Amino acid sequence: MSAAHPGDDAVGAVGSDESAAGTAQPAAGAGSGRAAGIDPRGPRFGAAITAALLLVDIALGLSGAITAATVLLAALTAIFAWGAFAGIRRHPWGSVYRRLVAPRLAPPAYREDPAAPTFAQFVGLVVTGTGLLLHLLGVPGALVVAAGMAFVAAFLNAAFDYCLGCRLHVLLVRAGVIRRRGARPTGA
């Protein structure tokens, strides 16, 4: 089961008491104005593109095309940074999804809080960035291993709707390491 399914306490969705950020998200069309949250199918779409590119990167790295693999992993690292720092709503794959895919689909049954998928982008940035840095420092196999780890996470999200970075976000929120958006400090 995904961190984004209704009734799952991992991410804000219709049917959950509260999201990882502390607020329940209405379904598309519920309430007035723009629906809060994001379409949970968008990050899965982006994960599918990312998984495919990471698989190409692994193939390039294993076939000896190290320069091409390095350039591709650097580009993917930059895309993860974009998603982590600009937010999942401004991610390039999300823009493609909103413009080309979402108009052809029925509205989502629920909306997801963007905090957990944005944090998942940060996790992807750390994994790919570390692999890229270690590769540039001359650690053998670091590029392929990092791309492989990121591929597993992206594939799980794309194929099975299981977001490892989202799950990690929830665990860190529950442990008090990450504060819920809009939550007041204790004693305030």
Work out how many domains the chain is built from and give that number.
1
Residues 3-18: tens digit of each pLDDT = 444 334 444 443 333 3
Q: Would you say residue 13 lies in a domain? A: no
Q: Would you say residue 31 lies in a domain? A: no
Contacts of 32 (CB under 8 A, 6+ apart): none
Residues 94-123: tens digit of each pLDDT = 889 999 999 999 999 999 999 999 999 999
Read off the pTM. 0.79
Q: Would you say residue 12 lies in a domain? A: no
Q: Would you say residue 186 lies in a domain? A: no
Q: Would you say residue 5 lies in a domain? A: no
User: What pLDDT is recorded for position 177?
Assistant: 93
Q: Would you say residue 59 lies in a domain? A: yes
Residues 152-188: tens digit of each pLDDT = 999 999 999 999 999 999 999 999 998 876 555 555 4
Domain hosting residue 166, numbered range: 41-174
Q: Would you say residue 137 lies in a domain? A: yes
Q: Would you say residue 108 lies in a domain? A: yes
